[in-house]
């Protein structure tokens, strides 16, 4: 297993979940957002998560979800964390963490250093910050678009919580990203796909191998 934690996000088939586990991923991510080509319903999430061993965390990705939606997801009993990938405020993050008694990740959309500095407001409310590239205004999705940001923006930042790096990562650039940022966790979605929403077993395997060898 890699010294860097790896989250393979946007999984939707048993084959690719199995590949992520075999490849040594520490986390698997399931997207619950109907506009996404990776969207899975709670029942599907439960079935996919059932095959995941306990040492691999199962993260549900949601976008400005209300309590009813979150209750349906957490009610599956299948999850080990919630990843909030919308415009959730620190207060909303804290309320979700308290109400659902699960570790909460907050995705921070990054274009400039000010975006990274704004993450300080989540101190004490989150279990992990996930720095991801900001998608353009009007984009269909707030994540999973294969976009990257300037990783040097993370240099010298005093992180208020455990964190991870996301956005536009793939086999060819992941070692540079790790070297530049010293991130403890890498998150990837479209970099291990053949087409939006279609994960590749071979690419998942190759990505995890590449991270182990960095
Ligand atoms: O992946 C999606 O379809 C998605 C939809 C809505 C909100 C978040 C989404 N993905 C979140 C992730 O954690 C992705 O892994 C992250 O944005 C990186 O994606 P990529 O640049 O494609 O590796």
Beta carbon of 203 within 6 Å of any ligand 1 atom: no
Complex ipTM tops 0.90: yes
pLDDT at 184: 97
- Report which secondary-structure segment, H or E, holds 164: strand 163-166
Q: Is 132 a catalytic residue?
A: yes
Beta carbon of 88 within 6 Å of any ligand 1 atom: no
pTM: 0.96
Tokens of 142: 């707030």
Q: Which residues of the chain have pLDDT under 70?
A: 1-2
Beta carbon of 143 within 6 Å of any ligand 1 atom: yes
Looking from the CA of residue 132, the nearest atom of ligand 1 is 17
How far are the Cα atoms of 18, 115, 158, 169 from residue 173, in angstroms, in the given order?
24, 23, 24, 6
CA-based torsion, 203, 209, 212, 213: positive or negative: negative
pLDDT at 1: 56
User: HSE-up of 90 (CA within 13 Å, CB side)?
Assistant: 9
**Local structure of 16: helix, strand or coil:** helix
Please identify, in words, the CATH class of the domain defined by 5-213: alpha beta
pLDDT at 190: 98
């Amino acid at each position: 297993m890699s010294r860097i934690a790896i989250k393979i996000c946007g999984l939707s088939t048993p084959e690719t979940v199995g590949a992520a586990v075999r490849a040594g991923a520490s986390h698997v991510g399931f997207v619950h957002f109907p506009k996404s080509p990776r969207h899975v319903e709670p029942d599907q999430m439960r079935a996919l998560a059932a095959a995941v061993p306990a040492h691999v965390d199962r993260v549900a990705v949601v976008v400005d979800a209300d309590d009813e939606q979150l209750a349906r997801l957490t009610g599956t009993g299948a999850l080990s964390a919630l990843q909030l990938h919308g415009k959730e405020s620190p207060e909303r993050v804290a309320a979700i963490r308290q109400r659902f008694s699960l570790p909460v990740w907050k995705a921070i959309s990054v274009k400039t250093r000010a975006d990274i500095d704004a993450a300080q407001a989540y101190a004490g409310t989150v279990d992990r910050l996930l720095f991801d590239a900001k998608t353009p205004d009007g984009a269909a999705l707030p994540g999973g678009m294969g976009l990257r940001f300037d990783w040097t923006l993370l240099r010298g930042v005093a992180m208020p919580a455990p964190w991870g790096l996301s956005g536009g990562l793939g086999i060819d650039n992941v070692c540079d990203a790790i070297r530049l940022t010293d991130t403890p966790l890498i998150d990837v979605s479209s970099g291990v796909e053949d087409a939006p929403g279609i994960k590749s077993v071979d690419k998942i395997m190759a990505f995890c191998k590449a991270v182990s060898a960095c």
